[in-house]
Amino acid sequence: MNCDTVGPLLAAYLDNELSEAEQTAVRRHTSRCAACARALSEIKYTITAMRSLPEVDVPADFRPRLRQRLAELPATRAADIAARELRRVRPRRTWAWWGLPSTAVAAALMLGIVLFPAGSPAVVDEPEGPAAVARQEGQSDATTGGVADPADAADAADAGAMSGGAAEPVEPTAPDGPTPEPGAEPPPRPGADPTPAPAPQPNAPAPQQPVANHDVPVTDPPAAADGVGGFDVGVAGITTPAAPLAEHLEVVRADVALQVADTAAAAQDLQELAAALEGQVEIEESEGLWRAVLRVAPEHLDAALDAVAALGAVTAQDQSSQDVGWQVSQLRAELAGLQERRTRLVEEVAAARSANNVDTAAGLEAESDALAERMAAMQEELDFLERATARATINLQLAPADGTR
Amino acid sequence: MTRDADEQLVARAQRGDMTAFERLVDHYERKIYNLAYRLTGNHEDAGDMAQEAFIRVYQSLPNFRGESAFATWLFKIASNACLDELRRRKRQPVSSLDEPVELDDGETPRQFADVGDGPEQAVERRELQRAVHESIMALPEEYRIVLVLRDLHDLSYNEIVELTGLTLGTVKSRLNRARAQLKEKLLRLELLPPHFVYTDRRGKLSEL
Mean pLDDT for A368-385 is 82
Neighboring chain A residues of B65 at a CB cutoff of 8 Å: 141, 144, 146, 148
CB contact under 8 A, B112 and A48: yes
Residue-wise pLDDT tens digits, A41-90: 888 888 988 888 889 999 999 999 999 888 887 654 444 544 444 444 43
Chain B, 189 to 208: residues with Cβ < 8 Å from chain A are 191-193, 196-197, 199, 204-205, 207
Residue-wise pLDDT tens digits, A193-228: 444 444 444 444 444 433 333 333 433 333 333 333
| Poorest-pLDDT segment among A240-249, A346-355, B8-17, B170-179 | A240-249
A216 touches chain B (CB under 8 A): no
Nearest to B69 by CA among A147, A84, A142, A137: A147
ipTM, interface predicted TM-score of the complex: 0.80
Higher pLDDT pick, A399 / A29: A29
CB contact under 8 A, B179 and A47: yes
Listed in sequence order, the DSSP H helices in B15-69 are: 18-40, 43-60
CB contact under 8 A, B65 and A80: no
What was the pLDDT predicted at B35? 96
What was the pLDDT predicted at A319? 76
Neighboring chain A residues of B172 at a CB cutoff of 8 Å: 8, 11-12, 17
Q: A284 pairs with which residues across the strands?
A: A291
Among B59, B105, B200, the residue to mutate for chain A (most A Cβ within 10 A): B59
Neighboring chain B residues of A58 at a CB cutoff of 8 Å: 29-30, 33, 50
Q: pTM here?
A: 0.46
Q: Do residues B128 and A52 touch, judged by C-beta distance below 8 A?
A: yes
| pLDDT band (50, 70, 90) for residue A295 | confident
For A237, residues 6+ apart whose C-beta sits below 8 A from its C-beta are: A112
Residue-wise pLDDT tens digits, B74-128: 999 999 999 988 888 877 654 444 444 444 444 444 433 344 456 777 777 788 8
- Look at residue B27 and tell me whether its pLDDT is greater than 90: yes
Count Cα neighbours of B31 within 13 Å in the Cβ-side half-sphere. Answer: 20
CB contact under 8 A, B55 and A66: yes
Residue-wise pLDDT tens digits, A331-350: 788 888 888 888 888 888 88
Chain B, 128 to 157: residues with Cβ < 8 Å from chain A are 128-129, 132-133, 136, 147, 150-152, 156-157
Mean pLDDT for A6-34 is 89
B111 touches chain A (CB under 8 A): yes
Give the closest of A38, A70, A178 to B55, CB-based: A70
Beta strand A280-286 with A392-400: parallel, antiparallel or unpaired?
unpaired
| Poorest-pLDDT segment among A125-134, A352-361, A380-389, A395-404 | A125-134
Residue-by-residue DSSP string for A12-61: HHHTT-S-HHHHHHHHHHHTT-HHHHHHHHHHHHHHHHHHTSPPPPPPTT
Neighboring chain B residues of A42 at a CB cutoff of 8 Å: 183, 187, 192, 196
For B32, residues 6+ apart whose C-beta sits below 8 A from its C-beta are: B50, B53, B54, B74, B75, B78
Q: How far is A240 from chain B (nearest CA, A)?
A: 29
Mean pLDDT for B1-29 is 88
What was the pLDDT predicted at B157? 93
What was the pLDDT predicted at A193? 41
Chain A, 176 to 205: residues with Cβ < 8 Å from chain B are 176-178
Higher pLDDT pick, B106 / A381: A381
- Look at residue B167 and tell me whether its pLDDT is greater than 60: yes
- Look at residue B57 and tell me whether its pLDDT is greater than 80: yes
What was the pLDDT predicted at A364? 85
Mean pLDDT for A268-293 is 82
C-alpha span between B6 and B12 (Å, rounded): 10
| pLDDT band (50, 70, 90) for residue B200 | low
Among B17, B45, B63, B158, the residue to mutate for chain A (most A Cβ within 10 A): B63
C-alpha span between B30 and B32 (Å, rounded): 5
Using DSSP's 3-state secondary structure scheme, residue A228 falls into: coil
Higher pLDDT pick, B25 / B95: B25
Beta strands in chain B (DSSP E): 197-199, 205-207
Mean pLDDT for A8-18 is 90
Nearest to A284 by CA among A321, A225, A223, A231: A231
What's the mean pLDDT when you consider all of chain A? Answer: 65
Nearest to A200 by CA among A324, A101, A29, A78: A78
What was the pLDDT predicted at A394? 87
Higher pLDDT pick, A391 / B99: A391
Q: How far is B188 from chain A (nearest CA, A)?
A: 12
What was the pLDDT predicted at B24? 93
Mean pLDDT for B5-30 is 90
Q: How far is A209 from chain B (nearest CA, A)?
A: 14
Among A46, A84, A152, the residue to mutate for chain B (most B Cβ within 10 A): A46
